[in-house]
Structure 1
């Protein structure tokens, strides 16, 4: 008979033996962080895949928010009903967002909108743009013609949500959750967990709560309200930048019968490696 959740909690808190990750596990994760010419997003995606492969669970990686100051903003018309706003940051990072512009836009209105935003918003971070924009548009509304004003207001909706929590979440290894799950009860649990994993916004917001402190946290079954119906466990650890500021999280999801003694040090080690990546690159 498998232990109850309370029995597992007693074991994890008082009797679990934790050892260092094996050299094979360490190498599998380290190998994904060796490249110096790939984007952080690509490396985090590969780390998530490696972590799910090593643990045979589903991995969660919450990427950092990009909060460098904006250097330049540009609107590009792609079609009558399609446009792109380009954000160039002071650290060289570039982000593109597609959106549907208001009807009737011209090359002139695109230029005017971009000029207005560059004068008003350059030097501010994404998290500051919302408040700064509202202030600037109220003070200088009359300086823009109607077409440019409509474009400015529609374009800013796109980047005000840029970097939202659910967009920062990487989930890999869902198929691992099906391994060895032949019983109807187990398959129903997996179906429930797959549904839970689609709720990326809720998961990301939950992972943000790990910012409350350093170290690995273990949520067993119903202790984690997000996955309580699926009877799953989550092992999660935040990772930090060079200033020791928590900027994201790494986690593994699996059945409550997880090998916690093995998974905990792997998650901890991966979080340390990812933190070192940001320290070495001098980001965030």
Structure 2
């Protein structure tokens, strides 16, 4: 698990500064915050700690934790809440993540596969986002990469003597149509030959792989294809490149209304409004999700560690999902307040990413 995590040496140093009772008090403050969102005071702490400590002794420990930047008092004479640095320390060094039960796994599988055998990839991803939202009470986020789609089929259909439609079918079932100009004298057989050549040699390849393969085969291609047909092959591949460039990464957000359920004050409402604005502009969220594609497993981004959340005080738990050849093809996860139930959501996101990878593979 990572996000913009504390460097290991800083984590070790922060943990080393905490003795057994300090760690227990810090853990209880974080646990209480994640469960209720409310500050925890010394008197309530004294009732729930496994060791006998007076409220005065607890206040001394809390003062030390505050000095380390791990907790803070939201109001004078109030209890304490964890800071974002405290949450990061807790997530990186103290979070105990369990595994999903068999029942929970079956529930996730049934929800994601709700569309049945007729579902498209887009439907499956939308159901995954909806499921994550429903189970986490946050917003479900899915980023599906469209930039390097893999080719399933290309076909040329003549419309006019000098115009043809290129039908581009991706392995995810998506279809793109592009109009291209034909050289005078292009015959119907040349269109068929170009389609056959592209489908024979480039099917199953991404755009970048197809370009490399075409370059590699250029000499033999000249021998196999006449000049007009070779021009069609180039035009067909160029039209696929145009289609890919015109289809940016798809961002699916489900359950934004869940983020309003925990609003207690006008400041909270403004925080959520800013977050909704961030989601609408999408650029920062897509960039953030894209950075999660670079690593393995679940990543956790907390609050102002990232530009997107600098004003909204939110967290993001995400994991990349892969196709049958272990290529990262997207990212999914949960967006919510910093007091997300990380111990429950981390294995949920991890399992869903693996499940989606299997289903689209």
Q: Same fold (TM over 0.5)?
A: yes
Quote the Cα distance in structure 2 between the aligned partners of 1:268 and 1:180.
25
Q: Aligned residue for 1:31? A: 110
1:3 aligns with 2:82: yes
Change (3 A) 1:203 1:116: farther
Alpha-carbon deviations, 1:73-120, whole Å to 9, x = none? 34697xxxxx9753135x5x5433477x79x99xx99x8997797488
Q: Aligned residue for 2:52? A: none
> Based on CA coordinates, which of the two structures has the bigger radius of gyration?
2
Change (3 A) 1:94 1:248: closer
The answer as to whether partners of 1:232 and 1:255 remain within 8 angstroms in 2 is yes
Q: Count matched residues.
A: 266
Partner residue of 1:200 out of 267, 278, 282:
282
Quote the Cα distance in structure 2 between the aligned partners of 1:97 and 1:132.
22
Cα RMSD, aligned residues only: 4.2
What SS class does the counterpart of residue 257 from structure 1 fall into? coil
Instruction: Provide structure 2 residue ranges, at least 5 long, that are not aligned to the other structure.
Output: 1-73, 75-80, 219-226
Change (3 A) 1:86 1:203: farther
1:209 aligns with 2:291: yes
Change (3 A) 1:126 1:113: farther
Q: Aligned residue for 2:207? A: 127
Quote the Cα distance in structure 2 between the aligned partners of 1:203 and 1:254.
13
1:159 aligns with 2:159: no
How far apart are residue 5 of structure 1 and its match? 0.5
Q: TM-score, normalised by structure 1?
A: 0.72
Quote the Cα distance in structure 1 between the aligned partners of 2:252 and 2:111.
15
Quote the Cα distance in structure 2 between the aligned partners of 1:180 and 1:64.
32
Alpha-carbon deviations, 1:33-66, whole Å to 9, x = none? 4433322221111111011110011111123546
Greater RCO (CA < 8 Å, at least 6 residues apart) = 1
Change (3 A) 1:160 1:3: same
How far apart are residue 160 of structure 1 and its match? 3.5
1:12 aligns with 2:12: no
Alpha-carbon deviations, 1:232-273, whole Å to 9, x = none? 111011122333333321111101111111211111121121
How far apart are residue 72 of structure 1 and its match? 1.8
Q: Aligned residue for 1:88? A: 169
Q: Aligned residue for 1:139? A: none
Quote the Cα distance in structure 2 between the aligned partners of 1:23 and 1:156.
43
Q: State how 1:61-100 maps to structure 2 within 5 Å.
A: 61-65=142-146, 67-74=149-156, 86-89=167-170, 94-97=173-176
The answer as to whether partners of 2:141 and 2:334 remain within 8 angstroms in 1 is yes
Q: Aligned residue for 1:218? A: 300
Q: State how 1:179-258 maps to structure 2 within 5 Å.
A: 179-258=261-340
Quote the Cα distance in structure 1 between the aligned partners of 2:126 and 2:264.
29
1:54 aligns with 2:135: yes
Q: TM-score, normalised by structure 2?
A: 0.58
Quote the Cα distance in structure 2 between the aligned partners of 1:265 and 1:173.
20
Q: State how 1:96-175 maps to structure 2 within 5 Å.
A: 96-97=175-176, 118=195, 122=199, 123-124=201-202, 125=205, 127-128=207-208, 158-164=242-248, 166-167=249-250, 169-175=251-257
